[in-house]
A and B are shown apart, each in its own frame.
Chain A
Amino acid sequence: MALLDVKNLGISFGGLRAVNEFSLEIEKGCLYGLIGPNGAGKTTVFNLLTGVYQPSDGVILLDGENLVGKKTIEINKAGVARTFQNIRLFKELSVLDNVKAGLHNHYPYSTLEGIFRLPRYFKVEKAMDERAMELLSVFDLDKEAATLAANLPYGKQRKLEITRALATRPKLLLLDEPAAGMNPNETKELMETIRFVRDEFDMTILLIEHDMKLVSGICEKLTVLNFGQVLACGNASDVLNDPEVIKAYLGE
């Protein structure tokens, strides 16, 4: 059974059919790309998958559990984490605290235990610190742990966002244009990071991308979206050579 199984997803805004009959199957451990021209509805698909929008039709199954109708936080608890096209970090918090916020649901203690500094507070906070530092060192961010997130350079902010998403222990990681605004060197480093995340964390990843080099370099499978419809899907090399896809990207 596929980890993520999306069938006939659809949503309209006003009279506009933003996404129509969208289906997608992602096997566990796969690095999957969702591509398409601007305005094709890629981010809308992410918003549907994470409960920001509620689809008007279709089902979303994660490990057999239907996600349709659930709220964003429930979907995260069910195992979907994401990053954002325009980076959304907790800017006034330290890098460490950004990751610890991601650990929020997995290291519980009550507010009263926190206020009165009961033993569990110290125990859990210590475990959180250790886990967060572990994650940060994986992404080479451990030296910046005390820095404010807002003061990180751009490339590291992207990395921190991925780290924070991973801290929530997802089964599926959604990356929304992770290479946006990066130079070729940073993009190359990012490709390695993404591949590393998949191997190290045994993660299933769905990413939206414009950068064809990144897509062809790391995605094993692709779905192409155009005007809210699936134009093609399958193995990356086949899809990228599909004349329909080339037409949609380059025009006629």
Chain B
Amino acid sequence: MKNPSGRTYAAEGNEKYTGWGNSMSFISYFINGISLGSVYAIIALGYTMVYGIAKMLNFAHGDVIMIGAYVVMASVSGAGLPPFAALLVSVVFCTVLGIVIESVAYRPLLNAASSLAVLITAIGVSYLLQNIALLIFGANTISFASIVPVPALALAGGALTVTGEAIVTIACCIVIMIGLTLFIRKSKAGQAMLAVSEDKGAAQLMGINVNGTIALTFAIGSALAAVAGVLLCSAYPTLTPYTGAMPGIKAFVAAVFGGIGSIPGALIGGILLGVIEIFGKAYISSQMADAIVFGVLIVILLVKPAGILGKNIQEKV
């Protein structure tokens, strides 16, 4: 798996503003961290919702990000669509993809005796998506033109620049978080999701369409993945069939960090992980950034396996 971030934002900021002292570069790293963390948070939502409801780790989630980015690229440079329309195409495509994956590969195993079976199947799907992309688009790294129309913002008299991508990413994350929370609290479908995540059997008895609710969860998660894919590739403008895998796994770490199954947890975990990663890159070692992120995972699981906002569930005897 390749680290998608061929060049890092923070490092760039560092080169530009070395003359302005450490505090400016610190703030710049911090903003970059929040921006990257927002992407992780959006991806982590997909993991956390699916885990909460279907009790499975959707390993292919990261690869849906990559597919989403390829679709945008193909519709912008291939079909000549305007960026926003391309994003819509990508969201629709990924939503359908998510529903297809769920119904073909995961639903037959919903009641399987072994939880290992679903996990291995999900790995198979991840592998399949990567290799389909490999056959269609090839293994070469494609440069991805940012589709964010917002210009960079100069602060503190030019001492600090916040890129348009960072602004849009953070804004997207906030909008999605608020929207999703409202959806789950207020809408009937959202309430059905909560019910299914508590107790599938009881929800079914109450007349809730369990399979439909699970499919809806996958659809939402995959649509978010498409958005995340575009944001990620706009900020780190390279694309390969393996682009999604590593951010996907890191977002899962973020979901675990925040407490799996919890939506605010995904936000907190994502942002913290993004900040840790950027600071790790800037102040410790750029090659070891991934190792630091995974080190964080191991430490969390040792200290607080349920995550920051998670519930501890004990197996019933």
Contacts and interface: CB of A to CB of B under 8 A. Distances in A.
A47 interface: yes
Contacts of B317: 43, 47, 52, 84
4 contacts: A43-B317, A47-B317, A52-B317, A84-B317
Nearest to A44: B317
Contacts of A52: 317
A47 B314 CA distance: 13
Interface string B218-254: 0000000000000000000000000000000000000
Interface in A74-114: 84
A214 B120 CA distance: 46
A54 to B, nearest CB: 12
Interface string A11-52: 000000000000000000000000000000001000100001
A47 B317 CA distance: 8
Interface in A47-62: 47, 52
A84 B316 CA distance: 11
A52 B317 CA distance: 8
Nearest to A150: B113
Interface residues of A, number: 4
B260 to A, nearest CB: 21
Interface of B: 317
A52 B316 CA distance: 10
A84 B315 CA distance: 14
B32 to A, nearest CB: 42
A52 B315 CA distance: 10
Nearest to A82: B317
A136 B213 CA distance: 48
Nearest to A47: B317
A43 B317 CA distance: 8
A113 to B, nearest CB: 31
A86 B317 CA distance: 9
A84 B317 CA distance: 8
Nearest to A50: B317
A163 to B, nearest CB: 20
A116 B148 CA distance: 65
Nearest to B315: A52
B134 to A, nearest CB: 37
Contacts of A84: 317
A62 B172 CA distance: 62
- Nearest 4 pairs between A and B by C-beta? A52-B317, A47-B317, A84-B317, A43-B317
A57 B277 CA distance: 46
Contacts of A47: 317
A43 B316 CA distance: 11
B113 to A, nearest CB: 9
B312 to A, nearest CB: 12
B35 to A, nearest CB: 40
A56 to B, nearest CB: 16
Contacts of A43: 317
A194 B317 CA distance: 23
Nearest to A13: B314
B116 to A, nearest CB: 13
A19 to B, nearest CB: 14
B112 to A, nearest CB: 14
A195 B317 CA distance: 26
Nearest to A46: B317
B90 to A, nearest CB: 45
Interface in A148-163: none
A18 to B, nearest CB: 13
B147 to A, nearest CB: 50
A110 B276 CA distance: 46
A48 to B, nearest CB: 11
A174 B317 CA distance: 14
